[in-house]
Structure 1
Amino acid sequence: MIKNKKIFLEAVKEAILNPDFNFTGFPEKKGIFVTLKKHGNLRGCIGFIEPIYPLDKALVEASRLAAFEDPRFPVLKKEEVKDLEIEISILSKPLQVKNIKEIKLGRDGLIIEQGYNKGLLLPQVFTEFNITSIEDALSMTCEKAGLPEDAWKSKLTRIYRFEAEIISET
């Protein structure tokens, strides 16, 4: 559990504004996603599913990728940073789902994998979109992976769940 959340939120802004910024002090390896919104609209969201980087380095890299490399959006301009709403999701290790009854919406995010296709939706996405059925959540995650919405039913598909500690300004 992160105690001083403001440090993380400020680190996102600093990582975007300053290419030489170096954030240290959080060596534990964790998966992380940084979500940037401007006036309530998604402006960038990129991260690392697996805990392959120390949290401090992953935060800086995910911040820069969300701002400058998310292919869905134009590159963020520095003057936009003041208008950003920042949300950081620190992920638990993904657990493979054997039975969809293990999934608890409101707690779990989902990862769907089939072949080279992979999609992830953070736990809060299901709440934001008022998704109340596990089947709908799985279908939405399949679509994110570029798969047919019923691909989660296939024996070729792997389903994972994870939890996230969410840090935001609100």
Structure 2
Amino acid sequence: MALDKGARDAGLTEEQGKALLWLARETIARQLGKEGREPDPDIAACLRDQALQEKRGTFVTLKEHGELRGCIGTLVGIDPIVEGVKRNALHAAFDDSRFSPVEEEELAAIEVEVSILTEPTPLIYATPEELLARLQVGVDGVIIRKGGQGATFLPQVWEQLPAPEDFLSHLCRKGGLPAEVWRSGTLEVLTYRVQYFEE
């Protein structure tokens, strides 16, 4: 289990994180037709915590043998955390268009990660140089928007793309935009922090 060093203000405990990981995995397992397990008393108590009833953006990421297997989430809090985790666990497992749906025999090899987001805030900048300088490498989740297109990278993506120029170029391509459009100064950019837990 890991806590993004930039997001301690997200405020969940490791016990709450373990409960959310259990919830995500159990939700996927039940959808695959596996007999449901009852949570142990500590997990059940955590899932009732008021903190997990707050409306927050959530992402669920699935990896298999270290490779991405699905990642779906919401950037803003439209549901309580527990409901968002359940919904996004199902979407990550079965509805990520980049991958085929998860099958039952894969489940044991899949690692689950749950991310809880702070509210995105606009990043104000005047030049591409200022944009690069204001990004906090390894800390910021980044949203870009231009016209009707946009995309986001969670802070965890900095591990694969630690150079801000590469991070932004890949993010632009993910959003269906030219890789270098961030240099134009016309992108809307928002940032957020993440507290994440992994199995």
Q: What's the TM-score, normalizing by structure 1?
A: 0.90
Is it true that 1:40 corresponds to 2:66 in the alignment?
Answer: yes
Is it true that 1:115 corresponds to 2:147 in the alignment?
Answer: yes
**CA distance in structure 1 between the aligned counterparts of 2:18 and 2:80, rounded to whole angstroms:** 19
Which structure 1 residue ranges, 5 or more long, are not aligned? none
**CA distance in structure 2 between the aligned counterparts of 1:31 and 1:134, rounded to whole angstroms:** 24
One-letter amino acid matched to 2:94:
F
Q: Which residue of 2 aligns with 1:50?
A: 76
Report the alpha carbon displacement of residue 135 of structure 1 after superposing the two structures with TM. Answer: 2.3
3-state SS of paired residue (2:18): helix
Q: Deviations over 1:37-90 (max 9, x none)?
A: 111111110010111111110000000000000011111112211111111111
Q: Equivalent pairs: percent with the same residue?
A: 35
One-letter amino acid matched to 1:140:
H
The answer to whether the 8 Å contact 2:73/2:88 transfers is yes
Question: Which structure shows the higher helix fraction?
Answer: 2
Which structure 2 residue ranges, 5 or more long, are not aligned? 1-10, 37-43, 126-130
3-state SS of paired residue (1:118): strand
The answer to whether the 8 Å contact 2:60/2:92 transfers is yes
Structure of higher CA gyration radius:
2
Report the alpha carbon displacement of residue 155 of structure 1 after superposing the two structures with TM. Answer: 4.7
One-letter amino acid matched to 1:115:
G
**CA distance in structure 2 between the aligned counterparts of 1:107 and 1:123, rounded to whole angstroms:** 6
Q: Which residue of 1 aligns with 2:156?
A: 124
Question: Which structure shows the higher strand fraction?
Answer: 1
Q: What's the TM-score, normalizing by structure 2?
A: 0.78
Report the alpha carbon displacement of residue 134 of structure 1 after superposing the two structures with TM. Answer: 2.1
Give the counterpart of 2:171 among 141, 145, 164.
Answer: 141
Q: Which residue of 2 aligns with 1:10?
A: 22
Q: Which residue of 2 aligns with 1:29?
A: 55
**CA distance in structure 1 between the aligned counterparts of 2:21 and 2:162, rounded to whole angstroms:** 30
Question: What root-mean-square deviation, in Å, do the aligned CA atoms of Structure 1 and Structure 2 show?
Answer: 1.8
Q: Which residue of 2 aligns with 1:71?
A: 97
The answer to whether the 8 Å contact 1:152/1:158 transfers is no
One-letter amino acid matched to 1:16:
I
**CA distance in structure 2 between the aligned counterparts of 1:54 and 1:153, rounded to whole angstroms:** 37
- Shift >4 Å, 4+ stretches: none
Report the alpha carbon displacement of residue 136 of structure 1 after superposing the two structures with TM. Answer: 2.1
3-state SS of paired residue (1:53): coil
3-state SS of paired residue (1:110): strand
The answer to whether the 8 Å contact 1:142/1:148 transfers is yes
**CA distance in structure 2 between the aligned counterparts of 1:132 and 1:156, rounded to whole angstroms:** 23
Is it true that 1:163 corresponds to 2:193 in the alignment?
Answer: yes
